[in-house]
């Protein structure tokens, strides 16, 4: 057990240089962006003097190194700076928008796994059967339709034509009151507050965007599950298990599926990271106040602090994600814990 703890700690330690690198790169990159924020914020009618004034107010006239030291010092105090476009502290913006994105992405992935993994397993146990073909069609369709198109299609059918979905305007209809901020996840916060009505309201808003994203992420998960299961089912140990008379159920889940899990978990991690970055289209279509659209808006107006904050938050998230995946590996596969010792 202590060996496992050491390996966890050493994994965390390995993440520190990555985080430092991200801090430096995020700083340099945002400075390297074209466009001068001082000119932008001084307005269309500004002259040289007022631009210089704005530049001084933003601290952009100082040497690079000095700016960086100030930036790191602020970071250490948890101050990510002031967003120029929203006028609020970046930390505050992130605290409200990151959970929105996470809630959407996680529910989409949960939904996606709930469909894709059983589908992949079924397809692998009956290769060439109708289930296998259905899996292939569904997966190809899901991945080949762009998310903004499926999103709009779903809105058209379920909101406009059938009228069973709420208007696609953010996380909660205006008739509900936001639940108290505990985790930032409306579903969890509402459940914690015991507010069933708000919970249902938030869930209704979440369903369509989550389905849109889930359709898109199903393909890699289903395919990987199918391939990994096919591999595991043809392994020698499955033959041993069958020759020992074990039931299909034990062979399939106890033996084959657990061995097929490793590549599936790897894929899941990859899908999660690209979805979190790439769900900006879905956020736009459903007016979801997520972190993707926030970053794009900040980038367009050269909002340094906001972009840096976004990059940092994502980097931390990915470091955390990799850690979770590594830990999941050691739980699934005893050989990995052994190698880390």
Partner 1 sequence: MLSIRDLAVSFQTRRGAVNAVRGVSFDVATGEVLGIVGESGSGKSVTSYALMRILDAGGAITAGDVSYSGLDLRRASEADMRDIRGREISMIFQNPRAALNPIRKVGHQIEDVLRRHAKATRQDARQKAIAALEAVRITDAEARYDAYPFELSGGMCQRVVIAIALACDPRLLIADEPTTGLDITTQKAVMELVSALIRARGMGAIVITHDLGLAAQYCDRIVVMKDGQIVETGDPEALFARPRHAYTRKLVDATPRAGESIRSLLPAEIRTPDLPHKVHERPILAVRDLTKTYRGKSGPVHAVRGISFEVKEGQSVGLVGESGCGKSTTSEMLVRLLDPTSGEILFDGQDIAGIPAGRFARNPRRGDIQMVFQDATDSLNPRHSARQTIADPLRRLGGMGGAKLAARVDELADLTGLPRTLLDRFPHQLSGGQKARVGIARAIALNPRFLILDEPTAALDVSIQAVVLNLLADLRAALGMSYLFVSHDLHVVRLLCDHVIVMKGGEIVEQGPAEQVMASPAHPYTQELLSAAPKPPARRLVPAP
Task: Give how far Cα 123 sits from Cα of 127, 266, 269, Å.
Answer: 6, 20, 22
Site for partner 1 in 25-84 (CB under 8 A): none
Site for partner 1 in 153-212 (CB under 8 A): none
Q: Which is nearer to partner 1, 156 or 253 (CB)?
A: 253
Site for partner 1 in 241-260 (CB under 8 A): 241-247, 250, 254-255, 258-259
Q: Which is nearer to partner 1, 133 or 258 (CB)?
A: 258
Nearest distance from C-beta of residue 261 to partner 1, angstroms: 9
DSSP annotation of 80 = -
Q: Which is nearer to partner 1, 308 or 330 (CB)?
A: 330
Q: For every residue of 28-67, which 3-state class applies, written as one string?
A: HHHHHCCCCHHHHHHCCCCCHHHHHHHHHHHCCCCCHHHH
Site string for partner 1, 255-294 (x = CB under 8 A): x--xx-----------------------------------
Interface residue with partner 1 among 156, 237, 253, 274 (CB under 8 A) is 237
Number of H helices, E strands in the chain: 16, 0
Could you tell me which stretch among 37-45, 185-193, 229-237, 284-292 binds partner 1 (CB under 8 A)? Answer: 229-237
Q: Is 341 in the site for partner 1 (CB under 8 A)?
A: yes
Instruction: Say how far apart CA 190 and CA 194 lie, in whole Å.
Output: 6
Q: Which is nearer to partner 1, 71 or 255 (CB)?
A: 255
Span between the terminal Cα atoms of the chain, in Å: 11
Give residue 250's region: left, alpha or beta (phi > 0; psi -120 to 50). alpha
Q: Which is nearer to partner 1, 88 or 258 (CB)?
A: 258
Site string for partner 1, 106-145 (x = CB under 8 A): ---------------------x------------------
Structure tokens at 232: 């595991």
Q: Which is nearer to partner 1, 192 or 238 (CB)?
A: 238
Could you tell me which stretch among 100-108, 220-228, 233-241, 298-306 binds partner 1 (CB under 8 A)? Answer: 233-241
Give the phi and the psi of residue 200 in degrees, each rounded to 5: -65, -40
- Tally the residues of the chain: 341
- 138-176 as b/e, with b when 16 or more CB fall inside 10 Å? bbeebbeeebeebbbebbeebeeeeeebbebeebbeeeb
List contacts with partner 1 (CB under 8 A).
127, 234-237, 239-247, 250, 254-255, 258-259, 332-335, 338, 341
């Amino acid at each position: 057990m202590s060996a496992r703890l050491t390996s966890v700690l050493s994994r965390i330690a390995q993440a520190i240089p990555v985080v430092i690198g991200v801090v430096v790169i995020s700083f340099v990159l945002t400075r390297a962006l074209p466009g001068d924020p001082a000119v932008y914020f001084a307005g269309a009618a500004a002259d040289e003097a007022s631009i210089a004034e704005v530049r001084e107010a933003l601290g952009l006239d100082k040497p690079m190194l000095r700016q960086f030291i100030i930036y790191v010092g602020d970071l250490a105090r948890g101050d990510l700076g002031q967003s120029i476009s929203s006028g609020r502290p970046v930390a505050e913006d992130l605290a409200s928008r990151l959970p929105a994105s996470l809630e959407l992405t996680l529910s989409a992935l949960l939904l996606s796994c709930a469909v894709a993994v059983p589908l992949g397993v079924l397809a692998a146990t009956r290769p060439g059967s109708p289930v296998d073909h259905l899996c292939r069609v569904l997966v190809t369709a899901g991945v080949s339709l762009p998310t903004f198109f499926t999103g709009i299609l779903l809105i058209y059918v379920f909101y406009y034509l059938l009228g069973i979905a709420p208007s696609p305007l953010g996380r909660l209809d205006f008739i509900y009151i936001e639940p108290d901020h505990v985790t930032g996840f409306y579903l969890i916060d509402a459940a914690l507050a015991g507010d069933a009505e708000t919970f249902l309201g938030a869930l209704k808003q979440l369903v369509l965007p989550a389905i849109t994203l889930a359709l898109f992420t199903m393909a890699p998960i289903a395919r990987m599950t199918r391939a990994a299961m096919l591999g595991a089912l043809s392994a020698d140990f499955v033959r041993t298990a069958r020759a020992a008379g074990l039931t299909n159920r034990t062979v399939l889940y106890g033996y084959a599926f657990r061995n097929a899990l490793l590549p599936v978990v790897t894929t899941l991690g990859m899908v999660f990271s690209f979805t979190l970055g790439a769900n900006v289209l879905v956020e736009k279509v459903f007016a979801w106040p997520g972190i993707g659209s926030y970053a794009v808006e900040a980038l367009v107006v050269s909002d340094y602090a906001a972009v840096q904050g976004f990059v940092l938050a994502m980097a931390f998230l990915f470091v955390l994600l990799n850690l979770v995946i590594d830990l999941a590996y050691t739980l699934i596969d005893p050989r990995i814990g052994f190698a880390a010792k």
